[in-house]
Structure formats: C-alpha cells, structure tokens
Amino acid sequence: MSTFLPFATTQFVTRNGQQLSLDGKSFSFAGANFWHIGMQTNDFADQVLQAAKSKRIAVLRVAAWNEKDVTHGKDPGGNWFQEWTNGKPIINDGPNGLQVLDHTVQQAEAAGIKFIMMLTNNWLDYGGMDTYTHNLLSDQESHTSFFTNPTVIDAFKTYIRAVVTRYASSPAILAWELANEARCQESNCNKGQVLTDWADQISSFIKTLDPNHLVTFGGYGYLSDGPCCDFQYDGDSGEDHSAILKLPSIDFGTVHHYTQDDTYPGLQYGMDWFKAHNQASVAANKPMIVEELGVNRGKLDISGDDIMRQYEEYLSDPGQAGAVQGVVLWSADVMGGECPMQGDPYAICTADGSYEGLVRDFGLKMAGKAGAGGPKMLSKRAQKALITYGEHLLLSLFGFMAWYVSNGHSRFLDCGAPILRRVATSID
C-alpha cells in the first residue's frame, strides 16, 4: 500500500543569470538518473523516492516517454505512455499509462524531490525519435526527419502538449528536457543548424504551454569549434552546444561525460571538458547542469573513485565551476542492488565503501554551493521595490530637514529622488 510522503514545497525552480533559485534562495544540487521510476508500480516509485531523499539526492532525471510500438512488434511490457498501432499514435492516460507517472509526480511533490523530465530519446530505448519516423514515414526514413518533417514535428508536439500541460502546475518538475542526447549526423544536418532550429522551435512551443518551468535541450554538450577528429569538439555530432545555449527559450545548458580508463579520455580530458562548458555558460549567462557523470568502475576500480572525487571537487567549487548548479550522477543506486551492477560499470552502489563520500557527502557539498558563491542576488522586482522604499524614505528625510530650514534650502529635496529613479530605470 502506497502512502503519501510529508508535504515539502509548492515553489518552482527559477533562474537568475547563472544561478537557480527555489523558495527565494539559491538552489544547487546533486542528483541521479532514474529513468524508469515512472514506468513501474506505484509502490516502486514510493520506495525509490523515500530512499533517494534519505541519501540526499535532490533531483532525479526521469523519462517522460515510453512507447509501445505495436506496428513493429515492440512492446515494453507493463506500462507505456504512447502506443503506435498501424502507424498512428495513441496517448495512454489509463492506469497502465500516464496515471502511473501522475502518482510518481505527486509523490515527488510531497517529498520535495525535483524531476528533470525528458520528452523523448535519441536512441530507441523505450521508443524514441525513430519510433516517430518509422511509423509516420517509413522504416528507411532518415533520423534527420524527426527534426525537419512537419508531420513528425506535429505528432511530437501533440505528445508534448499532453504531458507538459498535465504537469504544468506541479512544483515537482524542475525542467522539461526536449530530448536525451539528440544528434543529427547525416549530410543534411548543416553542422548543427538543423538541431539548433529544432531546439528553438520546440523549446518556444513548450514555453507557450507552461511558463512555470525551466526548459533545457538535454544534449551531450557537443561543441562545434574544436579541432578535427575529436567527436566531442568538431561538430560532427550535429549539436552546437554554444548556439543552443543562447536560444531565448533554453534556460540552462547540459553536458554529459564518461571516463573510460586512465588514458583517453582520462581525468584531464574530463576536466578540460567541464571547464569548456563552464566558460560557455558564463558567456551565455546561464546555469549548467552536468546531467550524466560516470567513471568506468569495472576498468578503473579504486582509481575510478579517485577520478570521480576530483570531478566532484571541481564541480562543487563555486570559484572554479561557478555556472555549474547541478550534477546528476549517471547511476547512483538507492535501492541496495548488487554491485557491480550487471551491464552498468558506471553505477555507484550502496554496498560500495565509497558510496557515502561520492553520493551522500557530494549531495551536501552541492547543496552548500548555492550559499558559497557570494551574496545572494535579489530579483529585479525586489531590487526595484527596495529602491522605491529608499526613495520615499529619502524624500521624507529631506522633507523633515526642510521643515527646519528656510525655503531657500529646499533645493535639497530635488537631489535624491532623480538619482534613485535613474538607478531603478537602469535595472529594467
């Protein structure tokens, strides 16, 4: 029997420059990827959320898509959010569909845990982009068509509308993510322009549906201005991280990184990768969230923990990585599973002796980062209100002084107010 967790907050996460805010305070966090939490039973969701909260995990990255492709004989089993039959999509809002996600979101609200909600996937896990193109166009249709074909875009928007409007008033949602690791690698992708245009269109569409929540792209963070033959920098991915970050409806940047071993890409490569993205976020004056961070513990063993600690030390340091407001570990087990996890060498398991430091203590460091970066900024509205109050106070003071002096000295009354008005105007 599931029970609702104690009520936590009704506030939405907002951004102010490179900072995130919650309940009027700066907000930074550590989290974990737990894609399938909304695809299981209600009891499973309850257990995950309570365990995550006890381990100081403030944010979970969650799949808000799950496709049953009857047309091609692909059935995820259990629950699904959208079914494709004879090439046509049908949104499932029944008890084995979005109602399961409803319960998960309600429980997250009560627990005070936030979700980054991914709306589709570049890969075919749980469905994804090619499920749209294969059903609506043909099995031979290019991946690029997901980003350019009007029929496909309209179908995706229909699904977005159903999900986003369903949770538009929920404080459990930290952000809507357009897609996990979208890529456009075919010859007609125009070196990033296709993805940038698509991201502009879809993010703007979401903002019209839901002005309460942040929106992000969800990409790996591929750059396009680096040297040839390094896929993460040379633009061949079709993602131009810096261009997408500058879009008006994108609220923060995302970056993913995995360290395979001690050679390439090793520790220094990872550090340089994070520094490049922190600099891009500072240039765009927007926050950055590391949405996937993993070290191959199968290959690196104890040295992998050392590499992860150095990553976490850098990312939680406001002096070095000031734009980084969140780090979502690829897989931080909260349910006490066997370790190492089969098929996931990047998982940090509760049975690990390093779990306390790499997950729990890191959660505290990231939460404390919000208060360590200098004085907290007031919102523009609060700044203007404070200036207006100061203006009235100054006028009262001059009026009191004028009561004592002759009318010839009343010119002092004209000095303060215009100056403060100019300061208030400059904040707009």
Asked if 30 and 56 touch (Cβ cutoff 8 Å), the reply is yes
Out of 181, 291, 312, 391, pick the active-site residue: 181
What's the Cα-to-Cα distance from 413 to each of 128, 152, 402, 416, rounded to whole Å?
Answer: 66, 65, 8, 7
| CA distance linking residue 144 with residue 332, whole number of Å | 33
| CA distance linking residue 247 with residue 184, whole number of Å | 18
* Token pair of 272 as six digits: 């340089």
Identify which of 253, 228, 231 has the alpha carbon closest to the alpha carbon of residue 242. 253
Concerning whether 181 is annotated as a catalytic residue, the answer is yes
Concerning whether 292 is annotated as a catalytic residue, the answer is yes
| CA distance linking residue 310 with residue 122, whole number of Å | 30
CB count, 10 Å around CB of 124? Answer: 14
21 Cβ partners below 8 Å, 6+ apart? 13, 14, 15, 27
Per DSSP (E only), the strands in 166-271 are 173-177, 214-216, 253-259
For 83, phi then psi, to 5°, come to -115, 140
* Token pair of 323 as six digits: 């734009």
| CA distance linking residue 257 with residue 295, whole number of Å | 9
Q: List, in sequence order, every residue forming a beta bridge with 253; answer none if it has no partner.
A: 288
Q: What is the DSSP-derived secondary structure letter of residue 93? A: -
CA torsion sign for 142, 144, 149, 155 is positive
| CA distance linking residue 57 with residue 308, whole number of Å | 17
What's the Cα-to-Cα distance from 212 to each of 11, 13, 101, 249, 399, rounded to whole Å?
Answer: 10, 9, 19, 12, 44
b/e burial code for range 188-213 (CB count within 10 A of at least 16 → b): ebeebebbbebbbebbebbbebbeeb
3-state DSSP call for residue 145? Answer: helix
Catalytic residues: 181, 292
